[in-house]
């Protein structure tokens, strides 16, 4: 496909259009895109949501569900896939915080950042920008918000391109705007 950034981070709020934008970029960039999904199928609503996402992507995509080991999913991905979309870092963070301890999160975060540094597979990562709202009322909520913000900063430092999506419209925060004109 065409020349493109190796790491792209797409940030935005809930229902901002992040996923559709990431998928459109992936279809422009990759002949065989890999979708690394972090959401766990925990209830009927989530199963329906996952089903709609899979149907929307279609047969060109390979999907791998990985709620915890993003580094392993990226480094050991299907060889036929020439680029990956990781959706989403924020869900992944929640998974880790709810199932493991702080030390495990730090190890997993460091492993993901290392994987992004060494992988030759281009990646588009999606994350929520949760720090734009109210201050959470609980300690866990504030910790989650802080960790999500710091994780987004860590990935943004590694990324060639960082986009912020609002109302389905991309705003380039880092990188060349001309390379990211896709509007689904």
Instruction: Give residues with Cβ within 8 angstroms of 15, minimum separation 6.
Output: none
Secondary structure class of 15 (helix, strand, coil): coil
Secondary structure class of 121 (helix, strand, coil): coil
The angle formed by the CA atoms of residues 22, 23 and 28, to the nearest 5 degrees, is 100
Instruction: Give residues with Cβ within 8 angstroms of 29, minimum separation 6.
Output: 1, 2, 4, 83, 122, 124
Specify whether the CB–CB gap between 23 and 85 falls below 8 A. Answer: yes
Sheet strands (E) in the chain: 7-12, 33-37, 62-65, 83-87, 123-128, 161-166, 169-174
Active-site residue list: 53
Residue 109's alpha-carbon distances to 20, 92, 106, 113, 136, in angstroms, are 25, 10, 5, 6, 23
């Amino acid at each position: 496909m065409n020349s493109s950034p190796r790491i792209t981070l797409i940030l935005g709020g809930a229902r901002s259009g992040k996923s559709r934008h990431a998928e459109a970029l992936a279809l422009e960039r990759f002949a065989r895109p890999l979708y690394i999904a972090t959401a766990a199928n925990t209830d009927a609503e989530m199963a329906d949501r996952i089903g709609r996402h899979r149907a929307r992507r279609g047969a060109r995509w390979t999907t791998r569900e990985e709620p915890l080991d993003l580094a392993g999913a990226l480094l050991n991905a299907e060889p036929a896939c020439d680029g990956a979309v990781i959706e989403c870092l924020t869900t992944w963070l929640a998974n880790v915080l709810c199932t493991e301890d702080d030390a495990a999160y730090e190890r997993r975060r460091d492993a993901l950042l290392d994987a992004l540094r060494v992988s030759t597979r281009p990646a588009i990562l999606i994350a929520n920008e949760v720090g734009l709202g109210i201050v959470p009322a609980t300690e866990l909520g504030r910790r989650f918000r802080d960790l999500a913000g710091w994780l987004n900063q860590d990935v943004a430092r590694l990324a060639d391109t960082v986009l912020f999506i609002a109302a389905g419209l991309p705003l380039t925060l880092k990188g060349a705007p001309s390379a990211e004109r896709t509007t689904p």
